[in-house]
Amino acid sequence: MVDDRIENRNQTRHDFLTSIEYILDHPANRSKLRKGVIINIASEGFGVYILDQLNRGQKIIIKNGLPAGYQLAAVCWIRQETSHFCRAGLKLLKSTPENTS
């Protein structure tokens, strides 16, 4: 079964295979660096494989891996692919240079 949230896109996605490191946008969770693999990208968001189960609307700060530098993104959709990883669609919200430290 195809997830309509994945297929009903307003933008063209482009293949873009790269690893990223990110933290959760919450003061209590900013010390744990997490990893993911971006599989496609568009001007307003990207698809990614991650190990963590995030929630819709949850925000992350991408520390490296995107050409635009540090970014704030929000989870639009997420689904468990296997017992080890999830696939998610994230929307880029804004650049966050103040979070570079």
Identity of the amino acid at 66: L
What does the pLDDT look like over 17-53, one tens digit per residue?
Answer: 999 999 999 888 888 999 999 999 998 899 999 999 9
Report the CATH number of the 4-99 domain. 2.40.10.220
Q: Does residue 4 have a pLDDT over 60?
A: no
- Between residues 54 and 10, the one the model is more confident about: 54
Measure the CA–CA gap between 30 and 21, rounded to whole angstroms.
12
Measure the CA–CA gap between 2 and 6, rounded to whole angstroms.
8
Measure the CA–CA gap between 65 and 90, rounded to whole angstroms.
14
pLDDT at 75: 97
pLDDT at 61: 93
Contacts of 14 (CB under 8 A, 6+ apart): 40, 41, 42
What does the pLDDT look like over 7-16, one tens digit per residue?
Answer: 555 778 889 8
CB 99 within 8 A of CB 31: no
For 28, which DSSP code? G
pLDDT at 13: 81
Identity of the amino acid at 59: K
